[in-house]
Structure 1
């Protein structure tokens, strides 16, 4: 298949693995309507406009071909060059960026041929195949053509993905190591004694504290409950008995001197 001809081979019109000509026309019109109004006029070049561009390039001084703006655009974007077709005949061809300009009426044959030559490749492979020989073929149009290809759609179906794609593995989860206590060690991780030892310590500790008051005769034993602070009650009792006179002091001093 020669990509330069632009003709649609008869085998391609009945190939079920490719879009039909009617489906391609719908796809082509949808693409043009998706553009803004300013870009629709020059997005694709039809046969009539192609002939006008060729006429402007052959006679640049002619002022009867369309508008002055169109003639300026044609001289700026395109050139004429001699190209040999598949039959060996040489003719003048409108060129853009050193590639022949693709005519709108020939786009179906150009895209189907390039898509088969790249073995139903994706957008980039089909676009690369087309741009080896032609210019002025929008890449978005090629992408829509590939998305509408029945063979490519069958390969992208969920069933085919399940058959071809490997199963996904769930990400590994790192769990902290499990600490198994020894039979002789307590389960308390704060180094606290076991419950039996705690009960024994509580039984050994007295419930009340004994305070011995020095300074009197005989010595007095004053018990203070455990819940009463030691720094208040024992000190008061200590000062009280310290200021009291002893029995020896009463015997050594006269009665009147004791109470003077």
Structure 2
């Protein structure tokens, strides 16, 4: 691990400040199962930050959940942000809490270290998926346009939080969890050189001159718009594919119904012919008996 990035199981994770500067991390440790990394972070109280991450191995399908624990949560972790990764979209192989905060938080808000003396933490859980996830939007306020998002995802059995681990009798753990534990800094923290978010091919943020901040923010916004457009196009393509599949199924049902009706009609015709033949035979026998009588 570098001073600014922690990596494990094919993922790199780091914290950035409001000016997109990577924040310095402390010591880290790994649990016995090898799926949970704990990182000590020394920051001033009420420091604004964001959690950012990227996949540095082969692209994966995954759901990423950010859990916050501080004085406002009573020590109980609360889910504050969700993001996802898809092998069908390379841009999703990196993520950030900015723009992905759950309601009632501001979507683009930064997280904050605790204001009181008690310790706080933020955790990133990554769970692998069988198939690329599909995210749908539901408008919940027609006046403000504030919307909620719903994620359709198929969990792998080993990562499914709805299953119980037979060994520990607890919910199945995530594939990997990064837990950042905060403690108040002893003295004001010096601002480290500005570092942008990681590209997929990099593992450590690259220092960028402060003068490039405005251009970087504009580029980030442009990238977000392009990502939204790409996601929208993918969803429209999925809707078209589902519509075509539904039309195909409807045609198959219609064909099968026609065949079933034809078979039923053939069966009735055959029964009618047999009854007519039987009636003719009975008429012939009756005629012969009358002649003998």
Task: Give TM-score, length-normalised by structure 1.
Answer: 0.25
Rg larger for: 1
Q: Which has the higher contact order (CA 8 A, sep 6+)?
A: 2
* Structure with greater strand share of residues: 2
Task: Give TM-score, length-normalised by structure 2.
Answer: 0.23
* Structure with greater helix share of residues: 1
